[in-house]
Amino acid sequence: MEILAFGVQADEKPLLEKAFAGHHDVRCLDVFLDEDTAPIAAGYEAVSTSVNADLNHRVLQTLAAGGTRLIAQRSTGFNNIDLDVAERLGLTVARVSSYSPYSVAEFAWTLALAVNRRIVRASNRTRDFDFRLDGLMGRDLRGRTVGVLGTGRIGEAFTRIAHGFGMNLLGWDVAENPACVELGMKYVDKERLLAEADLISLHVPLMEATHHLVDAAALKAMKDDAILVNSSRGGLVDTEALVAELRAGRFTGVGLDVYEAEAGLFFLDKSLEVVEDDTLARLVTFPNVVVTSHQAYYTADAVTQIIDATVQNVLDHVAGRRGENVLVPRAS
């Protein structure tokens, strides 16, 4: 069987081909799966998609009509897939339920440190041989308070690093993580966390209940000199409200690896085009904001784990097994 993989990055392609070698053939495309590209999948029983694919009802109908029976998404998140429609069409949907939490946690800290110590500004200056320190003053993290919204595997990894910095730990989640409690984390309500934390990092999944978890009211509740980091899902933050607060001169720094309207932008080269997203265009102009292109997961360790899980999802489908990563089971 030949698998068609959409949205494959250049660094990812050789890993994907090597992992499938000896099992099935894989055809790798750099384009993302959407309504325009879905017809390419005609004749492929299995397709693999990336997190920025758009699997709405029309795309799923096109896939099913073309003979696709398995969608193997190479990500943990699946908010881009209409699961109800997939089930009605008899499509099996699988994801990667977990991979290295350290990849995302470490990158979240990279963003936090970059905005706190003005690394991007300093680097840009020294390229022009400007070695002044004006405007580059940061703050010690030791003794300050970090607020972790979401203390699952990634949130726990982030908390362990915060503990290493000697920070006071506040957490918010539907259930307490004993490992975080052991580190000294105090679980509080969201309002208290927002009001007291010097650094806030988001590590919750995107769903209806968490959409715009950090909305205008939440942003106003934060300290004027707080740092906000989002390496989870863009929809957790009301970006227009964030821009309004930044325009008012608030926050020491904001580090974003995700953006709520990133589909059609992130992972693509738009440098020679006019980007019509005024909110994003304004966001990247603030000197205390660092935006990266959804790369927190992108380490060799994490990508290898993602690919291995994807291969296993395909093998389970072919063998008629229901693996642990299945979201929508094979139609009976």
- What span, in angstroms and rounded, lies between the C-alpha atoms of 54 and 37? 10
| Token output for 133 | 């320190």
Q: Where are the beta strands (DSSP E) in 180-233?
A: 186-187, 199-202, 227-230
| Cα–Cα separations (whole angstroms), residue 78 to 20, 35, 75, 305, 307 | 23, 17, 7, 17, 16
Q: Could you say which of 74, 153, 203, 233 is catalytic?
A: 233
Sort 43 into a burial class: Cβ within 10 Å, 0-12 / 13-18 / 19+: exposed
- What span, in angstroms and rounded, lies between the C-alpha atoms of 100 and 104? 8
Q: Could you say which of 95, 118, 250, 294 is catalytic?
A: 294
SS3 content of the chain, % helix, strand, coil (to 5): 35, 15, 50
CA dihedral 176, 178, 183, 189 (to 10 degrees): 10
DSSP labels for 283-318? HTT-TTEEE--S-TT-SHHHHHHHHHHHHHHHHHHH
Residues whose CB falls within 8 Å of the CB of residue 164, separated by 6 or more in sequence, listed in order: none
User: β-pairing, 92-94 with 326-328?
Assistant: antiparallel
Residues whose CB falls within 8 Å of the CB of residue 33, separated by 6 or more in sequence, listed in order: 6, 7, 41, 47, 49, 50, 53, 54, 55, 59
Query: Has 294 been annotated as catalytic?
Result: yes
Amino acid sitting at position 179: A
Name residue, tokens 């440098």: 271
Q: Which of 149, 154, 204 is nearest to 179 (CA)?
A: 154
Residues whose CB falls within 8 Å of the CB of residue 58, separated by 6 or more in sequence, listed in order: 35, 38
Looking at the annotation, which residues are catalytic?
233, 262, 294
